[in-house]
Amino acid sequence: MSNHRHRKDHPATLPAVSRRLFLGTMAVGGAVALLPGCEMASGPVVSDLPSPLGPLAGRSMVPDTEAAPPVPTRPLPPPVTAKEPTNAYGILPRSMWAKAGPDLGRVDPMNGVTWITFHHSGDPKPFLTNDFGETAQHLEYVREYHRSRNFQDIGYHFAIDRSGRVWQLRSLRYQGQHVRNNNEHNIGVVVLGNFDLQSMTQPQKDKVKVFGALLRKQYNLPIAKVKTHQEFVSTECPGTNMQPYMVAIRKQKLI
């Protein structure tokens, strides 16, 4: 992770989305245009970084225990709002779920985007809710857990829930904490569920393709720059039911 520190937060927006690209996202899994309130590092794209590890065949794969919180032992706090906002966009802002912001004294700048990394949340048991309010509660619980482990904030930049909704998590001005030693320039997208124990829903599969393609186009990244967690480090993430799907859609150039 970079040792450079960032100034206090200030508003930022994602690069503009063309009308053609926005309409294209409507065709599969609903609109995924980028909200003006969804923050993004606006610096130049970093054109090249050392290649990550390839498929980790023959290496010992370890559970993804750093990011997945334990099963709650107490009732979760109510979400900031239990009402799903109605808008023409596809990204739910952080204000819909988060009760606090990041530790601005410790976050590192993203410094441009070169990678997109997909994860599963790796919950101790299958994550089965489709409910908006319950999903918001869960994201806040994950944020609190990550902060309790000395993360600067929730570790990922976006989440895709079982209904195919996209949630803004950490600001894209800042590096996430989702791939050990490979967080600079790297957008982290978590798909909610433990895909060693359950399967992705069809809305999740559709949105992974649409949202991944949208991020690629925003940053002019080749498909080879879309990775999964286990393609960087030795981990089971994103699970035995998600990893083959990611390999297949990249091979077919569907993301």
**For position 68, which CATH number holds?**
3.40.80.10
**H or E stretch covering 168:** strand 166-168
Whether residue 246 is contained in a domain is answered as yes
Whether residue 108 is contained in a domain is answered as yes
Whether residue 6 is contained in a domain is answered as no
**Sign of torsion, CA 35 38 44 46?**
negative
Tell whether pTM > 0.75.
Answer: no
Tens digits of per-residue pLDDT, 104-118?
999 999 999 999 999
Helix, strand or coil, per DSSP, at residue 121: coil
Domain count, the chain: 1
Whether residue 243 is contained in a domain is answered as yes
Whether residue 13 is contained in a domain is answered as no
Whether residue 103 is contained in a domain is answered as yes
How deeply is 150 buried, as exposed, middle or buried, from its count of CB atoms within 10 A (0-12, 13-18, 19+)?
Answer: exposed
Whether residue 58 is contained in a domain is answered as no
Note down the domain range covering 34.
19-47+64-251
Highest mean pLDDT among 15-24, 25-34, 66-75: 66-75
Mean pLDDT of 63-72: 63
Whether residue 105 is contained in a domain is answered as yes
